[in-house]
Amino acid sequence: MLHWLQGFVLPSATCQSDYDRLAYEILFEDLDRNGDGVVDIWELRDGLQNWNASFGGDSEQKILHAADANADSGLDFEEFVQYLQDHEKKMKLAFKSLDKNNDGMIDASEIVAAVKSLGIHISLAQANDILKSMDSDGSMTIDWDEWRDYFFLHPAKNINEIIRFWKHSTIVDIGESISIPDEFTEQEKKSGEWWKRLVAAGIASAIARTCTAPLDRLKVMMQVRKSKMNKVRLVNEFKQMIKEGGLFSLWRGNGVNVFKIAPETALKIGAYEQYKKFLSFDDANLGVLQRFIAGSMAGATSQTCIYPMEVIKTRLILGKTGQYSGILDCGRKLLKTEGIQVFCKGYVPNLIGIVPYAGLDLAIFELLKNYWLEHYSVNSVNPGIAIVLGCSTLSHTCGQLASFPLNLVRTRMQAAIREKETIPMLQLIKEIYIKEGKRGFFRGLTPNVLKLLPAVGIGSVAFELMKLIFGLT
pLDDT in tens, 330-365: 999 999 988 898 999 999 998 898 878 877 777 787
Of 392, 427, 402, the C-alpha closest to 170 is 392
pLDDT band at residue 239 using 50, 70 and 90 as cut-offs: confident
pLDDT band at residue 3 using 50, 70 and 90 as cut-offs: very low
Q: How far is CA 468 from CA 162, 163, 231, 294, in A?
A: 18, 20, 46, 31
**pLDDT for 44 beyond 90:** no
Length of the chain equals 473
Instruction: For residues 58-80, give the mean pLDDT.
Output: 81
User: What does the alpha-carbon distance between residue 269 and residue 254 come to, in Å, rounded to a whole number?
Assistant: 23
**pLDDT for 121 beyond 60:** yes
Q: How far is CA 424 from CA 307, 400, 418, in A?
A: 18, 23, 14
**pLDDT for 408 beyond 90:** yes
**pLDDT given at position 322:** 87
3-state secondary structure of 300: helix
Torsion of CA 175, 438, 237, 240, to 10 degrees: -110
Element (H, E) at 105: strand 105-106
**pLDDT for 16 beyond 50:** no
Instruction: For residues 411-426, give the mean pLDDT.
Output: 77
**pLDDT for 58 beyond 70:** no
**pLDDT given at position 62:** 75
pLDDT band at residue 18 using 50, 70 and 90 as cut-offs: very low
User: What does the alpha-carbon distance between residue 309 and residue 330 come to, in Å, rounded to a whole number?
Assistant: 10
Q: Please, what is the Cα angle at 11 between 9 and 15, to 5 degrees?
A: 115
**pLDDT given at position 204:** 86
**pLDDT per residue over 254-303, tens digit each?**
999 899 888 887 888 788 778 877 887 654 556 667 777 887 888 888 88
**pLDDT for 219 beyond 70:** yes
Instruction: For residues 439-465, give the mean pLDDT.
Output: 85
Instruction: For residues 308-326, give the mean pLDDT.
Output: 91
Domains, in order of start, for the chain = 3-166 (1.10.238.10), 186-469 (1.50.40.10)
pLDDT band at residue 2 using 50, 70 and 90 as cut-offs: very low
**pLDDT for 81 beyond 90:** no
**pLDDT given at position 454:** 86
pTM exceeding the 0.85 threshold for the entire prediction: no
- Which residue would you say has higher pLDDT here, 213 or 264? 213
- DSSP assignment string, 388-401: HHHHHHHHHHHHHH
User: What does the alpha-carbon distance between residue 170 and residue 157 come to, in Å, rounded to a whole number?
Assistant: 23
**pLDDT given at position 465:** 86
3-state secondary structure of 202: helix
**pLDDT for 1 beyond 60:** no
pLDDT band at residue 35 using 50, 70 and 90 as cut-offs: confident
**pLDDT given at position 331:** 93
Instruction: For residues 316-320, give the mean pLDDT.
Output: 91
Contacts 24+ apart (CB under 8 A), 287-291: 287/121, 288/121, 288/362, 288/363, 288/366, 291/119, 291/180, 291/183, 291/362
Q: Which residues pair with 75 in a beta bridge?
A: 39
With a CB cutoff of 8 Å and minimum separation 6, the contacts of 17 are none
**pLDDT given at position 4:** 39
Q: How far is CA 408 from CA 314, 374, 400, 404, 438, in A?
A: 12, 38, 11, 6, 12
pLDDT band at residue 229 using 50, 70 and 90 as cut-offs: very low
With a CB cutoff of 8 Å and minimum separation 6, the contacts of 290 are 276, 279, 280
